[in-house]
């Protein structure tokens, strides 16, 4: 409770100095580099939902499943996979920084906070030419809603409580002058997560409570923007995170004391120069420092990684309808782990990449081309490219096409794990293709995308004759499928209604096996559902707003030879919000019911997820 009080009053003292006569919803100013060319890509945008408190990225994605989310339990390791590519081939970006770990290549999305107003979008398809390694299936981007054009100060404090020991608090402040603006926000969360479930692996299928599932997390974020003059702007962003999480046993395991402690510091500084209306030059420096301590059977294993990133990018429009982008990026990456060959040494890799992009727009046609050459120390990185096109065949109909060559470098764990890693692993490589149709008339929209992706030299850890798992370039994988999205909006009885639907069919199979069990040839990849769908209905009237989010995930195989299957599941989530405005203040109340139908389900085999969960929150601004 003391932590909530501290958070609620962390910045409250500044609110007395507010200079605003009214509370306004203002457009955000983002501290990110110029976005990659999106010509030809299929993109999913998250709707604004009636929720006023901070939630995790894994919660948000599980409500609608635009990606395949692999969650072990509430608050524990959760990863995402786009189009069957797998977690290490699906990148997550915050403020333009790739959050994928250089040690294992994945992002734990349960640790990524989402504040109300933060923008989330997913760009599907291979994007190695624009974003380097780890972007073979797609990219998820988070753009914090942090700055306003207000010259005074605005502050907000809030908290929430819910079932199974949920408790949290948050505080934020923004403001500044015409030349200098700043924002800071902090969020704290804890949960016991001792929910009941039916353990079907025990005789009689008794109802038991989850144990060893406590979690606590603190996030501190700070942003600055300084306008030196009309042509020069400097922006900074810093994110510190600390988390402690117990790891619950599987339904087939006996309880044990297992936990993980995470610490991370991420910082980025950007200097933007606009020498003229047709040119934009941007220089960036970023530092990422992460530490994980994992406790099991009386032993604690530690791993650390440090990344220094430097990049310079020039965006130019020398003539009308033509945009050019050129950049050079360097990485200095270090990693240390108790499981490496020398647990006292820092293993390192230096990388350098050069990219060029051109986009031409002519009336109803847009064409883009990208090329990239990357050099990775002691590893070869293939030359990659991408081609995209969009054609407005009719005022309401747009045709999209995207082709790309992609790659994924082996991780530090793949290369340096003691007695098991292989420093000679080849990068994964492949091609992806997207063809889409988009129809839009007024507030109604429909989109269909057909895609195919081929990945060769797929890196897989599998046991040898001695029973020990080792990595190798062991397979070729093919993913193909179709995505269908539709949405519409209507005003009825003084209320605003919006319906959004999506369906995805994806089939990801092994097309070649270079070593190991040939019985997996032609089989579907584990935990990759062929069918998934979702629908969201949003309603608003005056100070009230509500949303119902429903998603369905089909059955999934849990092993490589497809001999065991996990049944599909459907969940529904209900959100409600009321906002009252009085002079300079705004009070928002929110309530949500997760898994409203109390559906028993598992995302990972023998890892139960909770039934119906309630939460209420309040924020004063």
Rounded mean pLDDT of the chain?
A: 91
Q: How many CB atoms lie within 10 A of CB 533?
A: 18
pLDDT of residue 584: 87
pLDDT digits (tens, 9 = 90+) for 281-293: 999 999 999 999 9
What is d(CA 400, CA 43) in angstroms, rounded to the nearest whole number? 11
Report residue 2 CA to chain centroid gap: 31
Of the candidates 29, 125, 123, 41, which has an alpha carbon nearest to the alpha carbon of residue 83? 125
DSSP assignment of 327-382 equals EEEEEEEEEEETTBSSTTS-EEEEEEEEEEEEEEEETTEEEEEEEEEEEETTEE--
Q: What is the pLDDT of residue 214?
A: 97
225-to-147, 151, 228, 272 alpha-carbon distances in Å: 9, 13, 10, 11
CA end-to-end span of the chain, whole Å? Answer: 21
For the cut 80, the answer to whether the pLDDT of residue 145 exceeds it is yes
Cβ contact 459:471 at 8 Å: yes
pLDDT of the residue at 504: 97
Can you tell me which residue has the tokens 């409203």?
A: 596
- Residue 27: the pLDDT is 37
What pLDDT is recorded for position 34? 38
Rounded Cα–Cα distance for residues 97 and 616 (Å): 32
The residues pairing with 307 across neighbouring beta strands, listed in sequence order, are 288, 333
Residue 24: pLDDT over 70:
no
Q: Residue 295: how many CA atoms within 13 Å on its side-chain side?
A: 14
In this prediction, residues 301-310 reach a mean pLDDT of: 98
Give phi and psi for 51, each to the nearest 5: -145, 130
The single residue listed with the structure tokens 């995302």 is: 603
Q: Give 611's pLDDT tier (boundaries 50, 70, 90).
A: very high
Q: In whole angstroms, give the CA distance from residue 140 to residue 145.
A: 16
Structure tokens at 400: 């999209």
Q: Which residues contact 46 (CB under 8 A, 6 or more apart)?
A: 60, 64, 66, 119, 120, 121
Q: Which of 38, 33, 83, 78 is nearest to 60 (CA)?
A: 78
In a 13 Å sphere around the CA of 266, the CA atoms on its Cβ side amount to 18
Asked if 277 contacts 290 with a C-beta cutoff of 8 angstroms, the reply is no
- Strands 215-227 and 232-246 turn out to be antiparallel
Three-state secondary-structure class, residue 252:
coil
- Token readout for 422 is 């292989």
Read off the pTM. Answer: 0.92
- The model's pLDDT over 330-361, given as tens digits with 9 standing for 90+, comes to 999 999 999 999 999 999 999 999 999 999 99
Give the contacts of 529 (CB within 8 A, at least 6 positions apart): 68, 506, 553, 554, 555, 556, 568
pLDDT digits (tens, 9 = 90+) for 509-563: 999 999 777 889 999 999 999 999 999 999 999 999 999 999 999 999 999 999 9
Is residue 131 within a helix (H) or strand (E), and if so which, with residue range? helix 128-131
Residue 185 phi/psi, 5-degree rounding, is -150, 150
Pairing of the two strands 90-94 and 138-143: parallel
Q: Hey, what are 575's tokens?
A: 């959100």
* Rounded Cα distance, 292 and 280, in Å: 39
In this predicted structure, the answer to whether residue 600 has a pLDDT above a threshold of 90 is yes
Helix (H) or strand (E) holding 128: helix 128-131
pLDDT tens track for 363-400: 999 999 999 999 998 777 899 999 999 999 999 999 99
Q: In this structure, what DSSP letter does residue 126 have?
A: -
- The SS3 of residue 111 is helix
Decide if 565 contacts 534 (C-beta within 8 A): no
- CB contact at 8 A, 427 and 405: no
Place of tokens 């395991």: 253
Tell which residue, 573, 566, 501, has the closest CA to residue 530.
566
Residue 32: per-residue pLDDT? 37
Q: Which two tokens stand for residue 383?
A: 């030359």
CA-based R_g, the chain, Å: 24
Least Cα distance to 233 among 28, 36, 29 occurs for 29
Please report, for the chain, how many H helices and E strands are present, in that order.
4, 38
For residue 83, the 8-state DSSP code is T
| pLDDT number for residue 89 | 96
Q: Give 440's pLDDT tier (boundaries 50, 70, 90).
A: very high
Block residue for tokens 């016991």:
192
- Residue at token pair 């988390």: 243
Is 176:152 a contact under the CB 8 Å cutoff?
no
C-alpha 209, offset from chain centre: 30
pLDDT of residue 29 exceeding 60 = no
């Amino acid at each position: 409770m003391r932590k909530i009080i501290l958070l609620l009053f962390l910045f409250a003292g500044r609110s007395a100095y507010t200079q605003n006569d009214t509370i306004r919803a203002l457009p955000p100013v983002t501290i990110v580099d110029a976005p990659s060319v999106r010509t030809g890509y299929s993109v999913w945008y998250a709707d604004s939902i009636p929720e006023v408190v901070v939630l995790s990225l894994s919660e948000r994605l599980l409500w609608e499943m635009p990606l395949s989310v692999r969650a072990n339990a509430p608050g524990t390791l959760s990863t995402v996979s786009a189009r069957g590519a797998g977690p290490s081939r699906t990148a997550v970006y915050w403020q333009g920084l790739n959050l994928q770990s250089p040690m294992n290549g994945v992002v734990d999305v349960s640790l990524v906070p989402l504040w109300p107003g933060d923008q989330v979008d997913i760009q599907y398809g291979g994007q190695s030419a624009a974003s380097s390694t780890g972007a073979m299936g797609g990219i998820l981007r988070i753009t914090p809603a942090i700055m306003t054009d207000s010259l005074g100060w605005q502050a907000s404090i809030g908290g929430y409580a819910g079932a199974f020991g949920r408790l949290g608090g948050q505080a934020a402040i923004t403001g500044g002058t015409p030349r200098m603006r700043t924002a800071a926000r902090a969020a704290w969360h804890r949960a016991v997560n001792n929910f009941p479930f039916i353990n079907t692996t025990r005789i009689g299928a008794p109802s038991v409570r989850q144990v060893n599932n406590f979690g606590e997390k603190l996030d501190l974020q700070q942003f600055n923007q300084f306008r030196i003059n009309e042509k020069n702007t400097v922006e900074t962003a810093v994110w510190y995170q600390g988390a402690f999480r117990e790891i619950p046993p599987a339904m087939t395991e006996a309880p044990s004391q297992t936990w993980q402690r995470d610490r991370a510091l991420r910082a980025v500084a950007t200097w933007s120069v606009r020498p003229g209306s047709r040119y934009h030059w941007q220089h960036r420096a970023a530092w990422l420092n992460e530490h994980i301590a994992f406790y099991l059977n009386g032993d604690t294993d530690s791993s650390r990684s440090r990344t220094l990133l430097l990049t310079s990018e020039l965006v130019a429009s020398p003539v009308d309808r033509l945009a050019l982008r050129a950049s050079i990026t360097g990485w200095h990456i270090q990693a240390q782990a108790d499981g490496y060959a020398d647990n006292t040494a820092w293993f390192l890799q230096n990388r350098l990449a050069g990219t060029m992009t051109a986009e031409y727009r002519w009336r109803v046609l847009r064409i883009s081309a990208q090329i990239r050459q990357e050099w990775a120390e002691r590893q070869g990185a293939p030359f990659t490219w991408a081609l995209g096109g969009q054609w407005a065949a009719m005022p309401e109909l747009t045709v999209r096409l995207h082709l790309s060559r992609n790659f994924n470098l082996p991780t530090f764990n793949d290369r340096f794990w003691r007695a098991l890693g292989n420093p000679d692993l080849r990068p994964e490589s492949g091609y992806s293709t997207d063809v889409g149709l988009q129809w839009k008339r007024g507030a109604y929209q429909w989109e269909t995308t057909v895609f195919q992706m081929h990945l060769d030299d797929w890196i897989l850890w599998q046991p040898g004759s001695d029973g020990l798992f080792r990595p190798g370039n062991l397979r070729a994988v093919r993913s193909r499928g179709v995505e269908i999205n539709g949405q519409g909006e209507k005003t009825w009885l003084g209320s605003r209604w919006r319906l959004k639907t999506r369906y995805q069919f994806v089939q990801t199979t092994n097309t070649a096996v270079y070593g190991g069990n040939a019985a997996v040839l032609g089989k579907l990849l584990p935990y990759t559902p062929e069918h998934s769908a979702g629908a969201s209905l949003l309603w608003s009237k005056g100070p009230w707003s509500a949303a119902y989010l429903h998603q369905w995930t089909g059955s999934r195989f849990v092993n490589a030879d497809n001999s065991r299957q996990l049944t599909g599941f459907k969940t529904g989530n209900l959100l409600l919000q009321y906002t009252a405005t009085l002079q300079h203040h705004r009070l928002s109340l929110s309530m949500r019911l997760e898994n409203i139908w109390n559906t028993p389900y598992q995302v990972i085999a023998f890892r139960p997820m909770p039934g119906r969960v309630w939460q209420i929150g309040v924020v004063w601004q």
